[in-house]
Amino acid sequence: MEPKKQIFIVEDHRLFREGLKAILAPGPEYEIIGEAEDGLEAVRLIRKSKPDLVLLDLSMPRMNGFSVLREIKGAMPDVKILVLSIHESDQYVLQAFDAKADGYAIKDSSREELRMAIRNVLEGKKYISPGIADSVLEGYLDGRKTLKSKSSLDTVTEREKEVLKLLGEGCQNKEIADLLNISVKTVEKHRANIMSKLDLHNAAALTAFAFEHGLISSKT
């Protein structure tokens, strides 16, 4: 008998995490070996546990799902990552695959579809929910379609996005420095760069921008 595939869940809503565990844990195929409710915690625990598969929400506190994807795939390219998201737009789907996601499923997928998505990804196949136009994934894989610049957010680096997200969540410079393991001076430099690039002039404007562009789920 083959050993169970080890799955790690990254999701900030406890009810949804419990639902995933209820669907997957009772069967003979899978074993839930860990869970995290924010991006930074997820990266730390996944590096330690080395699961076969990560189920990943994109809208996460402290570090968003795209950053988690890049961190995990950069360090452990063999770990499979299936995104579970409420977002169905081309921009989110293509950005997830550009960050090396192995699959993309919508959160209101059926139990059967979720199991099929997991099987496909674990077998090394790309997966995308049928509810999203097939041309999105086909275009990406064929190299015919690339992410189009949507806003000034595209001028912000991944590290600056992490800082912007934490600023939007109300974190102070010292907290951000501790969370990202960088100096306060570096945080201040990132903050100044962000405000210059986005033409924002105070904390309230930073928070509003982060909310409007999906970096945080609610204004704090």
**In angstroms, what CA-CA distances link 33 with 4, 53, 71, 111?**
11, 10, 19, 20
Per-residue pLDDT of the chain (220 residues; tens, 9 = 90+): 678 899 999 998 999 999 998 888 777 888 999 999 988 899 999 999 999 999 999 888 888 888 899 899 999 999 999 999 888 777 788 888 888 999 999 888 888 899 999 999 999 999 988 867 565 656 555 554 444 444 567 788 888 988 998 888 888 999 999 888 899 999 999 999 998 888 888 888 888 888 777 777 654 4
H or E stretch covering 30: strand 30-36
Whether 117 contacts 137, CB under 8 Å: no
DSSP symbols for 65-109: HHHHHHHHHHH-TTSEEEEEES--SHHHHHHHHHTT-SEEEETT-
Burial class of residue 148 in the structure, from the number of CB atoms within 10 Å of its CB (0-12 exposed, 13-18 middle, 19+ buried): exposed
In this structure, what is the dihedral angle of CA atoms 158, 161, 165, 167, given to the nearest 10 degrees? 120
Q: How many other β-carbons are positioned within 10 Å of the β-carbon of residue 19?
A: 14
Whether 19 contacts 44, CB under 8 Å: no
Burial class of residue 204 in the structure, from the number of CB atoms within 10 Å of its CB (0-12 exposed, 13-18 middle, 19+ buried): exposed
Q: Which domains does the chain have, with CATH numbers?
A: 5-142 (3.40.50.2300), 152-212 (1.10.10.10)
In this structure, what is the dihedral angle of CA atoms 108, 114, 118, 120, given to the nearest 10 degrees? -100
Please give the model's pTM, rounded to 2 decimal places. 0.68
Q: What is the DSSP letter of 130?
A: T
Whether 33 contacts 9, CB under 8 Å: no
Letter for the amino acid at 83? Answer: V
161-191 burial string, b = 16+ CB within 10 Å, else e? bbbbbbbbbebebeebbebbebeeeebeebb
56 closest CA partner among 169, 45, 48: 45
